[in-house]
Each structure stands twice: as C-alpha cells, then as structure tokens.
C-alpha cells in the first residue's frame, strides 16, 4: 500500500496570503488528522476528519480550517497568514478510531515571509 | 501546564550504549504512542501501548499505568538511531493526542 502523501512538500508565502495543503491518506483509512510542528511549541493537534466530518478540533484560531472529501483525501486551509504560521504541517491517517496507530505523511514545510 | 512531560530533552550516547527516554502524563490515558522523527521531518510510529511492555528489535517500550509513566529503551544503540523521539498520549479527558516535547538523541560512533 502507498503511504500517506502530502502536497506540496515546501511552500513559501507572504503575510496576509492564504494557503491550501493537501493530504492523501492510506487507502482504506477514513480518519485524517492534521498537526502543526514548530521548534517552540512542538507537535500540536489541529483537527481530525472522519468520513467527511470534523470529529475533533485543537486550540487554533478560526483562520485554520479543513475539509475531507468522499475519497478521504483532506485539505487544510490557512487564511490571512501570519509569520508565526511558519511550521511543518503533518497529516496522519488511521483506519477508524483513535487511539489506533496513525501513519504520518512527510509533511509540508510552510514558510511565511 | 503540559499534560505530557518527556525527559531528557537532549541525549548524546556512544554507540553501543543502553538508552532510556522517559514520558510522564498527568491524567488517565487510553493509549500511549512512541514516535520517531528523523531529520527532514518524517515521523514513524514505533509503538502503541496501553499496558505492559512491547519489544521490536532493539527497541523496548514499557508503561506503568498506576505511576502514569512510560519508558522507551534502546539497547546497543547505533548512529542510525539518532533522531527525535516523541511520546504521544491519547488522554481520556480529550479525544485527541497530546505530545511530549521530544527527546533529541545523538548516537556517536
């Protein structure tokens, strides 16, 4: 089976712009979670989607949003980018319910200038 | 306050040494994961534990539910073990994972 894929791998944006990141889970996995990783805060949970519905949400502002499609692929969107949004954004998929093992994608490195 | 605390933050070892990384959590959990992250970002899930002990090759993970503590041990460490190791707890109080700050391990040949 192919692993979790994320596109793009690297992205440079300027403050105020918006960005959309994409995640394709492992075939058969219905749950996709998104995480932000920064040197200062470490890994933090953004949100989880399961069968096209947001099941859980972390403590991030409304500028961070996501969605999941019927084929389980997921996108996350960040609007009105701030310098502090520079981070590695990781998605992870699992078959169904936590706390099952998650399989992580390689991440998208976002730099906001 | 962090629900999940990890120590040490940084660790340097000589090749062949036995290594222990610790993770403590403050509330009840459903499961605890140990993750490995190599330079460049890719994360691999090493273990998922809800009780007892698991072993995979030179890696051993243990959890003590009563003491709210887990350890990851690496026997006969090797330079390729150099990575950041992160514990992630799935707490009963919230339907999501909470992460430790990570332990950066460097194994010197």
Q: Does A13 touch chain B (CB under 8 A)?
A: no
Q: A32 to each of A18, A21, A37, A103, how far by Cα in Å?
A: 21, 13, 16, 10
Give the pLDDT mean for A76-99: 91
pLDDT tens digit sequence for B18-76: 999 999 998 788 889 999 999 877 899 999 998 999 999 999 999 998 999 999 999 99
Listed residue (A1, A69, A66) closest to A36, CA to CA: A66
Question: Choosing among B41, B42, B51, B89, which should be mutated to test the A contact, i.e. which has the most A CBs within 10 A?
Answer: B41
Hey, is B66 helix, strand or coil? coil
pLDDT tens digit sequence for A39-78: 888 899 999 999 999 988 888 999 999 999 999 999 999 9
Residue of B nearest to A100 (CA): B48
Q: List, in sequence order, every beta strand (DSSP E) within chain A.
A: 5-7, 10-13, 19-24, 31-38, 42-50, 53-57, 64-68, 74-78, 87-94, 103-104, 108-112
Cβ distance of A102 and B45 shorter than 8 Å:
yes
Q: Report the residue from A42, A55, A100 with minimal CB separation from B102.
A: A42
Q: Report the residue from A98, A106, A107 with minimal CB separation from B90.
A: A98
Are B13 and B35 contacting, i.e. CB atoms less than 8 angstroms apart?
no
What per-residue string of b and e applies to B16-25 under the rule 16 or more CB within 10 Å gives b? eeebebebbb
């Amino acid at each position: 089976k192919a692993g979790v894929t994320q596109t793009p791998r690297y992205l440079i944006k300027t403050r105020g712009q918006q960005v959309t990141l994409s995640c394709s889970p492992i075939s058969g996995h219905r749950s996709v979670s998104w995480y932000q990783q920064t040197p200062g805060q470490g890994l933090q949970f953004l949100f989880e989607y399961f069968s096209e519905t947001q099941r859980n949400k972390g403590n991030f502002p409304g500028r961070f949003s996501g969605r999941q499609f019927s084929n389980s692929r997921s996108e996350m969107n960040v609007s009105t980018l701030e310098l502090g949004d520079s981070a590695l954004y990781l998605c992870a998929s699992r078959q169904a319910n936590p706390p099952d093992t998650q399989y992580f994608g390689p991440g998208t490195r976002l730099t906001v200038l | 306050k962090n629900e999940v605390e990890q120590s040490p933050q940084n660790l340097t070892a000589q090749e062949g040494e036995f290594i222990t990384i610790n993770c403590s959590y403050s509330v009840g959990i459903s499961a605890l994961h140990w993750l490995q992250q190599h330079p460049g970002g890719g994360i691999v899930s090493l273990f998922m534990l809800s009780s007892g002990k698991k072993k995979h090759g030179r890696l051993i993970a243990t959890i003590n539910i009563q003491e709210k503590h887990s350890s990851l041990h690496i026997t006969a460490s090797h330079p390729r073990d150099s990575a950041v190791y992160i514990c992630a707890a799935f707490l009963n109080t919230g339907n999501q994972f909470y992460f430790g700050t990570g332990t950066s391990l460097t194994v010197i040949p």
